[in-house]
Amino acid sequence: MAEMDTSSAPSHPLIESDHIEGTAVYAVDGKRIGTIKRLVIEKISGHVVYAVTTFGGFLGLGSETHTIPWELLHYEPTLGGYKTNITEEQLRKAPEFSRGDESLLSGHERKQLVDFYGGYPL
Amino acid sequence: MAEMDTSSAPSHPLIESDHIEGTAVYAVDGKRIGTIKRLVIEKISGHVVYAVTTFGGFLGLGSETHTIPWELLHYEPTLGGYKTNITEEQLRKAPEFSRGDESLLSGHERKQLVDFYGGYPL
pLDDT tens-digit readout, B37-46: 999 999 999 9
Number of other CB atoms surrounding residue A22 within 10 Å: 11
For residue B93, give the DSSP letter: H
How near does any CA of chain A get to the CA of B96, in Å? Answer: 14
Q: What's the whole-number mean pLDDT along residues B79-92?
A: 92
Distance CA A55, CA A61 (A): 8
CB within 8 A of B33, min separation 6: which ones?
B25, B26, B27, B55, B56, B57, B58, B84
Q: What is the pTM of this model?
A: 0.86
Contact criterion met (CB < 8 Å) for A16 and B6? no
Write the pLDDT tens digit of every residue in A3-14: 334 444 557 999
- A41 beta partners: A48, B15
Note whether B29 contacts A: Cβ–Cβ < 8 A: no
- How many CB contacts within 8 angstroms connect chain A with chain B? 109
In chain B, residues 70-99 whose CB comes closer than 8 Å to chain A: 70, 73, 75
Domains of chain B: 17-97+104-117 (2.30.30.240)
Nearest CA in chain A to B74: A44
Query: What sign does the CA torsion over A37, B83, B122, B50 have?
Result: positive
- B76 beta partners: B81
Q: What's the whole-number mean pLDDT along residues B7-23?
A: 82
Distance CA A19, CA B40 (A): 10
